[in-house]
A and B are shown apart, each in its own frame.
Chain A
Amino acid sequence: MAHLTQYIYIISAALFILSLKWMNHPASSRRGVIAGGLGMVLAILGTFIGFPGADGVGIGFVHNWPWIITAFVIGTVVGVPIAYIMPMTAVPQRTALSHACGALAAALVGTAEFYQRQPHAETELRAFIMVALVIETLLGYLTFTGSLMAMGKLQEVLPQRPITYRNQNAVNFLLFAIAAGLAIRLAIVPTDTFLFPIFAALALLFGVLLIIPIGGADMPTVIAILNSYAGLSACAMGFVLNSRLLVVAGALDGSSGLILSIIMCKAMNRSFTNVLFGAFGQVQMSTGKAEQRTYRSASAEEAASVLEAASSVIIVPGYGLAVAQAQHKIRELYDSLTRRGVDVKFGIHPVAGRMPGHMNVLMAEADIPYDKLVEMDEINGDFPQCDVALVIGANDVTNPKARTDKGSPIYGMPILDVDKARTVMVIKRSMNPGFAGIDNDLYYMDKTLMLFGDAKAFVSELIKELPARVAA
């Protein structure tokens, strides 16, 4: 039976790999989810049937069933409603929460193993096992509190602005150095059990301090980094428990988080260290200029006539659109224009939304076909031939200053080349600069029409204007 379990684990690992491979295209993604779920069920069953014996070898029986079954029931009862009730705008918060849960589990298992194995410390807590165990618990505890902080910021129960104080980086570094020092000491002398709670507390505290100085705009990167940590923590658990399945699954998760955070960093022209230690908030305050600049505004009627005359339109949605709950209205606008023979596409910036790929999910939820959702690098070539670019709830990712103004905090960030379209229309509440506080040159161009109002209300008006004109 023990061997059977090992073979089941091999199948599980293969299913996990296939699962991620099938995420390469929306058409096969559903199969990917099913493969992953199947791999998980097999792994759990395999663990039950091939449970190791009391001496660590051979086959044994699972004890403490009431504990295990109760935990499974609670987890399921909590998990199902989360999956179905959670609105798509709140997916980033849920993801942060699940990173916290996963990391907590890894940390607690590591902690339990540490104390459980104390009586046989010489053989069961050898140096390499202890190294893996301290990595598992360090990453686990810091990702747990860090993810809770990220969730608080996303849910807006914590201030989104970076929370900074004097010598922040020095304090954080010192704290981390102490935690690392304790970790090394524990790896060498695992029987110093009194050090372990201190080590765990420092890791928990470090997780909080690591995330509070990071601003709301950087959350997509932070979530990806925490994803990576949670995976690596599970991977370290694999080393402790001598389980290759855990090593493989953890490494897949770790590398996924790594790639996503690299993509996010590139999309904002930032480096890892800059995101983690840069405290974005410090640069922006000084750039407020009082200078009055002129812009053109237009009514829904005028805007509708421009859209009607266009043959190609690119819509650039930002998170503001989701906040205004305007996704379904956008879908109606899309239908209405498409029926008139207008070619409508959507330009999606990688950091649009609150986590990697978030805007695509929000648009897909509104039934917009995914082949119309075009990523930045592909759509940028289309702007010069496009009649109208309609920007809704996006700001910094369309700011031409990122290309031209070396002094701007967003200089060098890849943007959607909205300013190259023949006509630009921007739906916005007012001329107030956005969250980052940077004035957007796009709004003052001769070819730009500012459409003032709530995104949902304005788009509804646009739709109303469109059919009226056909009838006339």
Chain B
Amino acid sequence: MPTDLELELFVFMLATFLGLEIIRKVSPLLHTPLMSLTNAISAISVVGAILVTGAAGATFLSKVLGFIAITAVVTNIVSGFLITDRMVKMFKRREEKK
């Protein structure tokens, strides 16, 4: 049986190659929204922050650090997805105009 580390390295390898292929195909028009979108997605570390803060035996230090971490990433999630949406809505073709 592979260990957790081996499984994770495997997933990491696959995800990196997949990421490289997908990102290469992103239109240069959208590189700015792409960056704010990937940034919002990497705020998935909210999962880790919740696990640390909400653990039964969380020390005071863990709670404080976790609290700051959740605040920071939730800001990223909310502002990241909303501003990306605001940006991509601006990209219109001529016939789509009123």
**Is there an interface contact between A364 and B67, defined as CB atoms closer than 8 Å?**
no
A108 vs B32: C-alpha distance in the bound complex, in angstroms?
Answer: 27
* Chain B residues with CB under 8 A of A74: 71, 74-75
A255 vs B19: C-alpha distance in the bound complex, in angstroms?
Answer: 6
**Is there an interface contact between A109 and B38, defined as CB atoms closer than 8 Å?**
no
- Residue B54 contacts which of A17, A23, A68, A372 (CB distance < 8 angstroms)? A68
Q: How many residues of chain A are within 8 Å of chain B by beta carbon? A: 118
A343 to chain B, nearest CB (A): 13
Is residue A208 contacting chain B, with contact meaning CB distance below 8 A?
no
What 0/1 pattern do residues 1 to 43 of B give for CB contact below 8 A with A? 0001101100110011011101111111111111111111111
A79 vs B15: C-alpha distance in the bound complex, in angstroms?
Answer: 28
* Chain A residues with CB under 8 A of B20: 255, 258-259
- Residue A234 contacts which of B24, B42, B80 (CB distance < 8 angstroms)? B42
**Is there an interface contact between A255 and B23, defined as CB atoms closer than 8 Å?**
yes
Known: A83-B83, A246-B44, A247-B15. A356 touches B35 (CB 8 A): yes
Interfacial residues of chain A within 212-257, with CB under 8 A of chain B in the complex = 223-224, 227, 230-231, 233-235, 237-257
Chain A interface, >50% SS class: helix
**Is there an interface contact between B88 and A29, defined as CB atoms closer than 8 Å?**
yes
* Chain B residues with CB under 8 A of A29: 30, 33, 88, 91
* Chain A residues with CB under 8 A of B31: 260, 263, 355-357, 360
**Is there an interface contact between B86 and A83, defined as CB atoms closer than 8 Å?**
yes
Name the residue of chain B whose CB is nearest to the CB of A79: B78
A250 vs B26: C-alpha distance in the bound complex, in angstroms?
Answer: 18
**Is there an interface contact between A78 and B61, defined as CB atoms closer than 8 Å?**
no
What 0/1 pattern do residues 357 to 375 of A give for CB contact below 8 A with B? 1101100110101111101
A356 vs B84: C-alpha distance in the bound complex, in angstroms?
Answer: 14
A-B contact count (CB 8 A): 384
Interfacial residues of chain A within 14-31, with CB under 8 A of chain B in the complex = 16-17, 19-21, 23-26, 29-30
**Is there an interface contact between A237 and B38, defined as CB atoms closer than 8 Å?**
no
* Chain A residues with CB under 8 A of B77: 40, 75, 79
**Is there an interface contact between B42 and A259, defined as CB atoms closer than 8 Å?**
no
A266 vs B11: C-alpha distance in the bound complex, in angstroms?
Answer: 29
A151 to chain B, nearest CB (A): 13
Chain B interface, >50% SS class: helix
**Is there an interface contact between A20 and B87, defined as CB atoms closer than 8 Å?**
no
**Is there an interface contact between A71 and B71, defined as CB atoms closer than 8 Å?**
yes
**Is there an interface contact between B23 and A30, defined as CB atoms closer than 8 Å?**
no
A53 vs B62: C-alpha distance in the bound complex, in angstroms?
Answer: 17
**Is there an interface contact between B35 and A95, defined as CB atoms closer than 8 Å?**
yes
A29 vs B32: C-alpha distance in the bound complex, in angstroms?
Answer: 12
A13 to chain B, nearest CB (A): 8
- B residues whose Cβ falls under 8 Å from a Cβ of A: 4-5, 7-8, 11-12, 15-16, 18-20, 22-59, 61-63, 65-94, 97
- A residues whose Cβ falls under 8 Å from a Cβ of B: 12, 16-17, 19-21, 23-26, 29-30, 32-34, 36-37, 39-40, 43-44, 47-48, 51-54, 60-65, 67-68, 70-72, 74-76, 78-80, 82-84, 86, 88, 91, 94-95, 98-99, 101-102, 104-106, 108-109, 111-113, 115-116, 128, 223-224, 227, 230-231, 233-235, 237-260, 263, 348, 350, 353, 355-358, 360-361, 364-365, 367, 369-373, 375
Given contacts A75-B73, A94-B36, A102-B39, 10 further A-B contacts (CB under 8 A): A23-B33, A23-B34, A30-B85, A76-B78, A238-B8, A240-B48, A244-B11, A355-B31, A371-B93, A375-B29
